[in-house]
Structure 1
Amino acid sequence: MPERNIEFGTYGARGIKGHEAVARQLDALAGFVATPITARRGLLARLHYLTRTDHARQAAREAGLTVTDRTLRAWLDGKRSPSRKNLARIQAAYRMVRRQNVARYLLARLNREGRGTRVEFHPLNQSQVGRPRQRVVSYRTLNVRHWDRIVEAWANDDEEAMDDAWVSDAVVDLGSEWGQYEYVTNIGFAA
């Protein structure tokens, strides 16, 4: 695509890809368990979420948590503790299942029956870039009406699809300067 940055940060600009900022915002809206998984309370909250129903158990297995029911019961009862590798699997499965469960709700909130959601683009940080190389980039807002592909890519944790969906469904609507907003300091929206 034209205007894609190949060597971002060469002259000292700082920021993150726009789709990464959107994923962070969607994660905040998803409402994950705040207690760390290393704490007993955080582990139990995640395990209860993953084992409450047969549907949740199946989704957890598909997400990579493949331990026996006996092991799960031992973890829930506090008789045994998961290894670091299993803690990472529990965390990954929890995030994946939570994203899939919340995606439909978030999609309805963001699309708002065709009205869309107002998005704020906070430009990249150019404080470390020499004066002659700085771009004129300002704060912009845009109403994004089509969130389907963006939320689907986020729910599936597919970074490449998320980047493509974010650029083609949202950023190009900024006009001819859309390439300046590929990297940002923050993307904000309230749904």
Structure 2
Amino acid sequence: MPERNIEFGAYGARGVKGHEAVARRLDALAGFIATPVTTQRGLLARLHYLTRTEHSRRAARAAGLTVTDRTLRAWLEGRRSPSRKNLRNIESAYRTVRRHNVSRYLLARLNREGRGTRVEFHPLNQSQVPRPRQRVIEYRTLNVRHWDRIVQAWAEDDDAALDDAWVNDATVDLGSQWGEYEYVTTIGFAA
């Protein structure tokens, strides 16, 4: 296996790490609430999601939303509004709980009973790289059959584990060219 890129972008190439593109795509598939938490509608939607059941309340507390039930009721009724710090905590708890809730569903859709999901690797952007230094990098597709570690690392919001899982469970199957796809423009897959 070749070494990882140390000085990416030294000659003007642009792109993102492959695992970051995968995390963005999984976030899009998770279907987070689009309205910002700073608006009343976005705040109420997140609070309803986090307080609907006792199970979701426990998950929200475990994810860092440690306010009293009285404070939550005041926020829901509009009598008080959360501070900036609490807004960040609400957003963080919401994303953590939502990722945990949809991870099992996404895993089943992506693994498709062992058939896997076809992934598209869109190569990095070399438009700013001088001609003699440009590489020929092709658009590639690959069928990824094992999503367990990838989805688990995404659900736990563990960037290092996601990078490791993405490289070892997916891109290494590209063969000797896997290093060319460490940085990409986008990663595409549908579930």
After TM superposition, the score normalised by the length of structure 2 is 0.99
In structure 1, the residue matched to 2:3 is: 3
Aligned twin of 1:72: 72
State the distance in 2 between where 1:3 and 1:121 align.
19
Question: Taking structure 1 as the reference length, what is the TM-score of the superposition?
Answer: 0.99
Distance 1:2 1:55 in 2: 46
Distance (whole Å) between structure 2 residues aligned to residue 177 and residue 34 of structure 1: 37
Structure 1: distance between partners of 2:188 and 2:169: 16
Consecutive unaligned residues of structure 1, counting only runs of 5 or more, are: none
Q: How many residues align?
A: 191
Mapped to 1, the partners of 2:162 and 2:135 lie a distance apart of 26
Per-residue CA deviations over 1:32-63 (Å, capped at 9, x if unaligned) read 11111111111000000001111111111111
Matched, 1:171 2:174: no
Corresponding residue for residue 16 of structure 1: 16
Mind listing any 5+ residue stretches in structure 2 that lack a counterpart?
none
Residue equivalent to 1:48: 48
Question: Residue in 2 aligned with 1:90?
Answer: 90
Give the match for residue 129 of structure 1. 129
The aligned residue for residue 118 of structure 1 is: 118
Local SS of the residue matching 1:175:
helix
* RMSD between aligned residues: 0.7
The DSSP-based 3-state class of the residue aligned with 1:120 is strand
Q: Secondary structure at the match of 1:177?
A: helix
Counterparts of 1:96 and 1:182, CA distance in 2: 26
Aligned equivalents of 1:163 and 1:134: distance in 2? 25
Cα distance, 1:3 vs structure 2: 2.8
- Which residue identity is paired with 2:125? N
Correspondence for 2:60: 60
Rounded Cα–Cα distance in structure 1 between residues aligned with 2:178 and 2:3: 8
* Partner Cα separation in structure 1 for residue 130 and residue 63 of structure 2: 46
